[in-house]
Amino acid sequence: MTTSVPAAPETAAAAAQAAGRRRRIALAVVLTAAFMDLVDATIVNIAIPSIQRDTGATFSAVQWVTAGYALAFALGLITGGRLGDIHGRKKLFLLGMGGFTLASALCGFAAGPGMLVGARVLQGAMAALMVPQVLAIIHVTFPAHERGKVFGMFGAVIGLGAVCGPLIGALLTEGNLFGLEWRPIFLINLPVGIAGILLGRRFLTESRAPRALRVDLIGTALATAGLLMLLYPLTQGRESGWPLWGFVSMAASPLVLAVFVRYERAKARKDGSPLVELPLFKVRTFAAGAGVQLTFGVVSGLFFLVWTLHMQLGLGWGPLHAGLTGVPFSLACSAAAGMSVQRLVPRFGRKVLQAGALIMLSGALVYLGAAGRYGTALESWQLVPAMLLMGAGMGLIVAPITDTAISEVPAEHSGSASGIFNTTGQLGMALGLGLSSVAFFGVVGDTGQPGGAGTGAGAADALRASFVDATTHALWWVCGGLVLVFGLLFLLPRRIRAQAVAEGAEPAAPEGGAGPEQRQPALVS
């Protein structure tokens, strides 16, 4: 007769310690991946002048370097999340990280603008496989009582990415390591990505959704075609002399998107797995919130590109000078975001977001005044008031907007709603970058193209002046967009269900990965 011997306390403690260590390493891996995506979404802006000088990239190529990433990321988010649910989140995460690392290498070794644009699109597509798995992996890795603290760490990393991204880009670009100029901003991902893959293979735990939705490839193809038919001629049209085919393509884009909507309705009736759950838009708060998110994405995409080019090509500042000028914006955005969720929104509701739009609008007007008054003699300290106002205004909007938009969405659809909402913001960014052809580059004209400004001091002064004029013109577009955002916010409920976030509860893992309140501040560049 035998009796079981209970495990020694030391053995149980050692096992618990090993499990805790495994979870911590797994957390470090997925947080690093989220940080990489945030940094690479914004780090390029600070290096655009260097890229243009080194590769001879045209304005449209410069736009695609940034818009291509945003568009590929947006279109792949929901599909990437579903693939992880079906085939395993660890598997898709590692596949995405491996592809992201490879695409970063292709960006760093790009022989010309075309290769760089293609590699950036691939990078965005791979990020769309990697990022949606982050919150899901955290959710299955940590027990419920630890998740609040872990998601707090996740938010801190996101905020850190907002501050560090532009500075990392500035340091790497201005440092000109090994004479590579802008290329280290991408090559730095190689050792980080390889380490993440090796550690992820060992320490991440595989998981799948018990009832995963199917992948909607036809819906994805229709949405991609419709959006490209709008964005490609919008971005390329100016340099091509606005040909007839561009207007035909843009006019046909709504028709293709209408076909997409009809197909999505049929797909929902057939198997309940459409790419976009269209009934969500019957919820007024969600539809209004999506409109705010799309418009705010347009404003953000346009502003951050214009701001970077104004500082470097209009004012002649170096990358580090420009990066440091953006620090007040980042700090104000992070501080206001924390206050809005923790204290302001639970008390004042919708008025906080409306105040954010007005504060950001006032910052844009202050920027306009400074740019118009000082021209090419503008100094960094003269931009500080505008940066603080715009950063604070953005923080008051981006942190609570998701919770506001989905506050009346049924709980069982909150994951899909978050995924669609995040996708909407990324699409807005891509559209804003496309609109820069009209709002910004159309004013600069051909003088800013490689070899287009002539030679000599007079030509250089004319070039810088043209960028300053283009900046003031584009800022009026930004102001108009913020007025529209302010108006759309009236469609949201007066009181906002923000208690869950304010109390530090864990967020639902959205179908499309990290929500816009987690990604948006990282637009600072």
Q: Looking at residues 244-271, what average pLDDT do you find?
A: 94
What is the phi-psi region of residue 456: left when phi exceeds 0, alpha when psi lies from -120 to 50, beta otherwise?
Answer: left
Q: In this predicted structure, what is the pLDDT of residue 498?
A: 43
Q: Which two tokens stand for residue 320?
A: 């580090």
Copy the structure tokens of residue 142: 């940590």
**What is the chain's mean pLDDT, rounded?**
85
User: What's the pLDDT tens digit per position in 12-58?
Assistant: 777 777 777 888 899 999 999 988 888 887 788 888 889 988 988 88
- Region of 152 please: left (phi>0), alpha (psi -120 to 50) or beta: alpha
Percentage above 90 pLDDT, the chain: 48
Cβ(117)–Cβ(231) below 8 Å: no
Cβ neighbours for 4, distance < 8 A, ≥ 6 positions apart: none
Q: Could you tell me if 193 and 100 are in contact, meaning their C-beta atoms sit under 8 angstroms apart?
A: yes
Q: Report pLDDT digits (tens) over 459-501.
A: 677 888 889 999 999 999 999 999 999 999 998 888 765 444 4
Torsion of CA 258, 263, 266, 270, to 10 degrees: -160
Q: What is the pLDDT of residue 453?
A: 52
pLDDT number for residue 478: 96
* pLDDT, tens digit (0-9, with 9 covering 90-100), for 148-195: 777 777 777 776 776 677 788 888 888 888 888 899 999 999 999 999
Q: With beta carbons less than 8 A apart as the criterion, state whether 429 and 297 touch.
A: yes
- Highest mean pLDDT (candidates 69-78, 169-178, 331-340): 69-78
The pLDDT assigned to 521 comes to 39
Nearest-angstrom CA–CA distance, 428 and 100:
23
Q: Which two tokens mark 1?
A: 């007769």
Q: 462: how many CB neighbours lie within 10 A of its CB?
A: 13
At 221, is the pLDDT very low, low, confident or very high (cuts 50, 70, 90)?
A: very high
**Rg of the chain taking only CA atoms, in angstroms:** 23
Torsion over CA of 67, 165, 103 and 151, rounded to 10 degrees?
-100
504: left (phi over 0), alpha (psi -120 to 50) or beta: left
Give the separation between CA 402 and CA 290, rounded to whole angstroms.
9
Provide the whole-model pTM.
Answer: 0.87
Residue 327: other Cβ atoms inside 10 A: 16
In the numeric block, which tokens belong to residue 164?
A: 């560090």
Annotate 334-378 with DSSP letters as a single string: HHHHHHIIIIIHHHHTHHHHHHHHHHHHHHHHHHHHHHHHHGGG-
Query: What b/e string do you get for 97-125 counting C-beta neighbours within 10 Å, with b at 16 or more?
Result: bbbbbbbbbbbbebeebeebbbbbbbbbb
* Rounded Cα gap, residues 71 and 76, in angstroms: 9
Cβ pair 110, 61 in contact under 8 A: no
Q: Residue 81's closest CA among 94, 91, 92, 65? A: 92
> Position of tokens 């100094």?
379
pLDDT at 511: 60
User: How many other β-carbons are positioned within 10 Å of the β-carbon of residue 285?
Assistant: 18
Q: How far is CA 239 from the centre of its chain?
A: 27
